[in-house]
């Protein structure tokens, strides 16, 4: 995301973070005893293009709180994200944000 | 011992013959569990959509292909119908990439330079093997203590050793691709 031209860059990260009425779905990653902390961080960086600090924070949330919301968006976007997370072996689910 | 190092142009992966044999053997079991792709050219399967799909009774398969909805069985089933065939293909492909790196010569050391795509396939396949073994062994956060409490002749010990080795290799590989 950080490589996008300025006008686009201003909009896209916000759209990705936005909790508005048209983006009420979330992707959740659940803790499991097998997936390595380093690997989970790597997956968050690779799949979502998150900076390392954000990916690490989300990984720690998964580890300590048992789960973390890792993305939000439309239902279709969240299903696609969860499918990709499953391809990496992470335990991920889709849920309407409430 | 396995030797994994970041190099210009990729990741160097060196394995002893016994280590390569271990990975080959485990991948063979994984591929067997994943089964063959469905016959293509007909109906929904040609589009990558399953006729029907449910969470597997086999805990390993259930872990590799978990429900995407926790409280909505219908939505979980629909998601599975549209994704599981493709996800199975992806896992088979990753396993095949690793097998290609290992080669067929069982007496030979492996010394390969993995490009980015190959390294990612290795990471995914190693993780699938760890998920499979970890599920079979019912690995918990405190699995080192679990192993310490086992009898010396416990038949699960070699599986724990394999799990431990795969974990170390995956850890090295993650850091090499970062």
Lowest mean pLDDT of A2-16, A64-78, B38-52, B64-78, name the range: A2-16
- Pairwise CB contact (< 8 Å): A42 & B123: yes
Q: pLDDT tens digits, residue range B144-153? A: 888 888 898 9
What is A6-96's CATH number, 3.40.190.10, 3.20.20.70, 3.20.20.140, 3.30.1390.10? 3.30.1390.10
Whether B116 has a pLDDT exceeding 70, the answer reads yes
pLDDT at position A84: 98
From B107's Cα to the closest Cα of chain A, the distance in A is: 31
Whether A14 has a pLDDT exceeding 60, the answer reads no
Average per-residue pLDDT for chain B? 92
Whether B97 has a pLDDT exceeding 60, the answer reads yes
- Pairwise CB contact (< 8 Å): B134 & A95: no
In this structure, the dihedral spanned by the alpha carbons of residues B24, B25, B26 and B30, taken in order and rounded to 10 degrees, is: 90
| B146 in reach of chain A (CB within 8 A) | no
Distance CA B69, CA B164 (A): 31
Partner residue opposite B174 with nearest CB, options A34, A39, A79:
A39
Phi, psi of B96 (to 5 degrees): -65, -35
- Pairwise CB contact (< 8 Å): A94 & B127: no
Q: pLDDT tens digits, residue range B120-143? A: 999 999 999 999 999 999 998 888
Mean pLDDT of B11-28: 97
Whether A11 has a pLDDT exceeding 80, the answer reads no
Q: Residue A4 CA to chain centroid, in angstroms?
A: 19
- Alpha helices for chain B (secondary structure H): 17-34, 59-64, 73-102, 116-136, 143-148, 157-177
Partner residue opposite A34 with nearest CB, options B90, B124, B131:
B131
pLDDT at position A13: 46
From A81's Cα to the closest Cα of chain B, the distance in A is: 11
Residue A20: band (very low, low, confident or very high) from pLDDT cuts 50, 70, 90? low
CA nearest neighbour of B62 among B82, B80, B45, B50: B80
Considering only residues 96 to 135 of chain B, which have any Cβ-Cβ distance to chain A shorter than 8 Å?
120, 123-124, 127-128, 130-131, 134-135
Whether A15 has a pLDDT exceeding 60, the answer reads no
Residue A98: band (very low, low, confident or very high) from pLDDT cuts 50, 70, 90? confident
Structurally, how many domains does chain B consist of? 1
Specify whether the backbone of B69 is left (phi greater than 0), alpha (psi in -120 to 50) or beta: beta
| Residue of chain B minimizing CA distance to A40 | B174
Domain that holds residue B29: 3-177
Question: Using alpha carbons only, how large is chain A's radius of gyration in Å?
Answer: 13
B57-80: string of b/e by CB count within 10 Å (b at 16+)? Answer: eeebbebbbbbbbeebeebbbbbb
| Domain spans of chain A, in order of start | 6-96
From B176's Cα to the closest Cα of chain A, the distance in A is: 11
Partner residue opposite A89 with nearest CB, options B86, B131, B178:
B131
| ipTM of predicted complex | 0.93
Collapsed DSSP state (helix, strand, coil) of residue B105: coil
Return the residue in B86, B87, B123, B128 with the most chain A beta carbons within 10 A, the one to mutate for interface testing: B123
Chain A residues within 8 A of B139 when measuring between CB atoms: 33-34
CA nearest neighbour of A87 among B84, B62, B73, B28: B84
Whether B20 has a pLDDT exceeding 90, the answer reads yes
| B156 in reach of chain A (CB within 8 A) | no
CB–CB of B135/B65 below 8 Å? Answer: no
């Amino acid at each position: 995301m950080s490589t996008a031209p300025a006008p686009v860059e201003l909009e896209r990260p916000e759209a990705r973070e936005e909790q508005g009425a048209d983006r009420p779905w979330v992707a959740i990653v659940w803790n499991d005893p097998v997936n390595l902390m380093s690997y989970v961080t790597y997956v968050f960086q690779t799949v979502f293009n998150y900076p390392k600090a954000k990916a690490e924070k989300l990984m720690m949330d998964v580890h300590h709180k048992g789960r973390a919301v890792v993305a939000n968006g439309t239902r279709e976007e969240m299903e696609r994200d969860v499918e990709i997370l499953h391809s990496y072996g992470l335990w991920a689910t889709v849920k309407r944000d409430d | 011992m396995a030797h994994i190092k970041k190099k210009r142009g990729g990741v160097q992966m060196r394995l002893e013959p016994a280590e390569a044999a271990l990975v080959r053997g485990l991948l063979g079991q994984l591929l067997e569990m994943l089964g063959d792709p469905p016959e293509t050219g007909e109906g929904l399967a040609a589009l990558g959509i399953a006729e029907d799909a449910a969470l597997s009774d086999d805990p390993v398969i259930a872990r590799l292909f978990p429900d995407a909805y926790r409280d909505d069985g219908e939505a979980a089933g629909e998601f599975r119908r549209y994704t599981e065939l493709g996800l199975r293909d992806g896992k088979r492909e990753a396993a095949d990439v690793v097998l290609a790196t290992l080669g067929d010569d069982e007496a030979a050391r492996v010394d390969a330079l993995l490009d980015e795509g190959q390294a990612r396939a290795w990471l995914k396949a190693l993780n699938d093997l760890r998920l499979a073994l970890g599920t079979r062994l019912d690995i918990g956060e405190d699995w080192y203590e679990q192993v310490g409490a086992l009898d010396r002749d416990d038949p699960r010990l070699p599986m724990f050793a394999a799990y431990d080795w795969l974990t170390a290799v995956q850890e090295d590989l993650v850091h090499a691709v970062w």
